[in-house]
């Protein structure tokens, strides 16, 4: 559920209680469309995250620390200039719309107090964060600049007057009369359907509308024009409860994934498992963190994925051409036979003959066959042409087999890189994979890439038997784990013929079957077969794993292995 106006109302209630009177201590912009305000209150510190992300716009208190870019973006520098040390005077919502105004009192260069408004618009792809000087309503800066050619109704960039988004012209759920209710329905020809209340009231989402419709049905209230008085009383009571700040923050779980959330109970999900939260911020952080992180990592790695997919397409096309050539080479032995039969019958061939009938003594039936000749060539030249075709196809076949093996290995390597990108959990890991692609020649080296890249560490788990298990997150880590870190008697695991991570079990003697199975599940979970079942995972001692000379990162060969079949899932093992 996207954040609707009612949920934001509950959030503003929390922020007013905790943040009004606190001062801005620190401002950071970890993402191009996201800021974090470090606030210092009465012996309590808070972090307010505000995001104008197109997919997951949000605003809530957070405990998560995000790394900042080396150079602060311009919007961050503007906020630091005007809001560092500023005091929060008020936090208000425009009716129940998805617009929040945070007023700050700050001292300017001459020591005079000025009030600045940070206006947060949580509106999907139109979301924005704008700093406005209150005394003249001028935009100081905004996180997304909107020019007239992008939006004809309103522009947002430094130096112009701030204009609010257009009014929805719907009813305010906290301030409407019975007459307003009836007039709006009749004048706008509102249809009586499950999303009716989202069309009637500002800030009401489709899911809340569905919940209210179910509530009406439970109370046997007919949903039509003749029963508008009973409908009005029922929904007015719901809105009175919300206006009095009586919230119940719940997320609804379906098949181990969070299906939806809200600040009151939703009747359509009453049969689903629930999880309660103490505050709207805690719920939002839990709901959005993994989704937002995954979406941002996917965006960050989009260029890398494009490079990998382009090279995979090249490999597949090359394999198609090579296999076609290999099929053509199946005729090579026939040319050799023709050459040898012509050699045996050379004295029966005359220059100018177009074909010759010879006995095929290579055939079990020893039947006669016709061989076509080039009339402009001598018998000897015709014989040599067949042997040349044979030798050419034989050489082509040998090279095609070598090229097919090399191309299949390259495709396997590229698939493993693609798997590593999908399993990446931080920007540092994405940068590490980028560095790997530079070293392997898939990305041309650029001088600006000579920045310090943090080397991430392999994942480290503790099994249920208290045994160390290590999982490589990219091919550089895979090589490190298998070739440098692991001892010869440690156990090495990898999905069979499926790109994925190298997994090492530190062997302290006999490995319990439970630990072996857990390591196999991890190997399957961090592979391309993550969403499959009965995944084959090979395992053997590290001493049986070798890296061929010249092989790409993460590519090894192994022998004397055994195979386990497991279904991957998140084990929730202790992580170091």
Which CATH number do you get for residue 363? 1.10.287
Euclidean distance between CA atoms 239 and 216, whole angstroms:
14
By CB neighbour count within 10 A (0-12 exposed, 13-18 middle, 19+ buried), where does 193 fall?
exposed
Question: pLDDT category, 468, cuts 50, 70, 90?
Answer: very high
Assigned domain for 267 exists: yes
- Tell whether the model's pLDDT for residue 446 goes beyond 70: no
On whether both 19 and 138 belong to a single domain, the answer is yes
End position of a domain, from candidates 391, 419, 447: 419
Question: pLDDT category, 449, cuts 50, 70, 90?
Answer: very low
> In the prediction, which pLDDT does 257 show?
76
User: What pLDDT digit, counting tens, does each position of 508-519 carry?
Assistant: 778 899 999 999
Domain of 374, in residue numbers: 306-419
CB 472 within 8 A of CB 484: no
Assigned domain for 448 exists: no
- Tell whether the model's pLDDT for residue 265 goes beyond 70: yes
Cα-based distances in Å from 431 to 179, 379, 415, 427: 61, 66, 18, 6
Euclidean distance between CA atoms 322 and 326, whole angstroms:
6
On whether both 103 and 206 belong to a single domain, the answer is no
Place of tokens 């080397």: 455
DSSP helix/strand/coil, 178? helix
Question: pLDDT category, 462, cuts 50, 70, 90?
Answer: very high
On whether both 16 and 135 belong to a single domain, the answer is yes
By CB neighbour count within 10 A (0-12 exposed, 13-18 middle, 19+ buried), where does 563 fall?
exposed
> In the prediction, which pLDDT does 100 show?
97
156 bridge partner residues: 146
| DSSP letter, residue 146 | B
User: What pLDDT digit, counting tens, does each position of 54-66 carry?
Assistant: 989 999 999 988 8
End position of a domain, from candidates 366, 397, 419: 419
CB atoms within 10 A of CB 492: 24
On whether both 293 and 324 belong to a single domain, the answer is no
Nearest to 34 by CA among 48, 20, 22, 24: 48
Question: pLDDT category, 262, cuts 50, 70, 90?
Answer: very high
Domain count, the chain: 4
Assigned domain for 436 exists: no
Assigned domain for 433 exists: no
On whether both 217 and 311 belong to a single domain, the answer is no
On whether both 206 and 259 belong to a single domain, the answer is yes
Question: pLDDT category, 310, cuts 50, 70, 90?
Answer: very high
Euclidean distance between CA atoms 221 and 32, whole angstroms:
49
Give CA 447 to chain center in angstroms.
Answer: 28
Question: pLDDT category, 132, cuts 50, 70, 90?
Answer: very high
Euclidean distance between CA atoms 482 and 487, whole angstroms:
8
- Tell whether the model's pLDDT for residue 453 goes beyond 60: no
On whether both 16 and 134 belong to a single domain, the answer is yes
On whether both 25 and 137 belong to a single domain, the answer is yes
- Tell whether the model's pLDDT for residue 373 goes beyond 70: yes
The pair of three-digit structure tokens given for residue 205, joined into one six-digit string: 């989402």
- Tell whether the model's pLDDT for residue 256 goes beyond 80: no
Tell me which H or E stretch contains 286. helix 280-300
On whether both 276 and 314 belong to a single domain, the answer is no
- Output the average pLDDT for the chain: 90
126 bridge partner residues: none
* Start-to-end Cα distance in the chain: 34
Q: Give 23's contacts (C-beta < 8 A, 6+ positions apart).
A: 39, 40, 41, 85, 86, 87, 88
């Amino acid at each position: 559920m996207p954040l609707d106006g009612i949920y934001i109302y509950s959030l503003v209630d929390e922020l007013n209680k905790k943040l009004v009177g606190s001062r801005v201590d620190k401002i950071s912009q970890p993402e191009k469309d996201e800021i974090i305000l470090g606030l210092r209150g009465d012996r309590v510190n808070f972090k307010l995250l505000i995001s104008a992300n197109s997919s997951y716009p949000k605003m809530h208190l957070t405990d998560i620390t995000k790394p900042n870019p080396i150079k602060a973006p311009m919007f961050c520098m503007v906020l630091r200039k005007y809001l560092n040390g500023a005091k929060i005077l008020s936090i208000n919502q425009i009716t129940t719309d998805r617009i929040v105004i945070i007023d700050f009192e700050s001292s300017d260069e001459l020591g005079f107090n000025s009030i600045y408004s940070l206006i947060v618009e949580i509106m999907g792809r139109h979301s924005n964060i704008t700093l406005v000087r209150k005394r003249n309503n001028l935009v100081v800066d905004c996180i997304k600049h909107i020019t007239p050619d992008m939006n004809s109704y309103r522009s947002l960039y430094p130096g112009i007057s701030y204009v609010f988004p257009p009014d929805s012209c719907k009813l305010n759920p906290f301030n409407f009369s019975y007459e307003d209710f009836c007039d709006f329905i009749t004048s706008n020809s509102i249809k009586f359907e499950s999303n009716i209340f989202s069309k009637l009231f500002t800030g009401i989402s489709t899911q809340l509308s569905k919940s209210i419709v179910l509530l009406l049905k439970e109370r046997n209230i007919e949903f039509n024009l003749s029963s508008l008085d009973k409908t009005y009383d029922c929904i007015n009571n719901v809105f009175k409860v919300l206006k009095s700040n009586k919230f119940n923050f719940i997320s609804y779980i379906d098949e181990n994934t969070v299906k939806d959330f809200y600040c009151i109970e939703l009747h359509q999900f009453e049969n689903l498992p629930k999880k309660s939260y103490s505050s709207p911020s805690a719920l939002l952080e839990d709901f959005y963190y993994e989704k937002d992180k995954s979406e941002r990592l996917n965006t960050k790695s989009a260029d890398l994925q494009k490079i990998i997919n382009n090279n995979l397409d090249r490999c597949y096309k090359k394999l198609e051409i090579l296999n076609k050539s290999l099929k053509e080479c199946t005729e090579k032995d026939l040319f050799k036979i023709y050459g040898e039969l012509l050699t045996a019958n050379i004295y029966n061939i005359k220059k100018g003959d177009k074909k010759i009938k010879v006995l095929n003594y290579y055939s079990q039936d020893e039947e006669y066959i016709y061989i076509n000749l080039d009339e402009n060539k001598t018998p000897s030249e015709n014989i040599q042409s067949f042997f040349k075709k044979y030798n050419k196809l034989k050489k082509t076949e040998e090279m095609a087999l070598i090229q097919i093996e090399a191309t299949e290995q390259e495709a396997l390597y590229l698939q493993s890189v693609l798997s590593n990108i999908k399993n990446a959990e931080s920007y540092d890991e994405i940068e590490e994979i980028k560095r790997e692609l530079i070293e392997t020649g898939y990305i041309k080296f650029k001088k600006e890439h000579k920045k310090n890249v943090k080397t991430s560490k392999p994942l480290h788990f503790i099994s249920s038997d208290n045994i160390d298990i290590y999982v490589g997150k990219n091919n550089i880590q895979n090589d490190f784990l298998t070739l440098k870190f692991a001892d010869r008697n440690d156990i090495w695991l990898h999905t069979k013929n499926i790109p994925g991570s190298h997994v090492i079990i530190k062997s302290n003697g006999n490995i319990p079957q439970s630990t072996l199975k857990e390591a196999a599940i991890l190997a399957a979970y961090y592979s391309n077969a993550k969403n499959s079942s009965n995944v084959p995972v090979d395992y053997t001692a590290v001493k049986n794993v070798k890296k061929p000379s010249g092989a790409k990162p993460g590519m090894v060969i192994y022998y004397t292995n055994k195979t386990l079949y497991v279904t991957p899932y998140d084990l929730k093992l202790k992580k170091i």
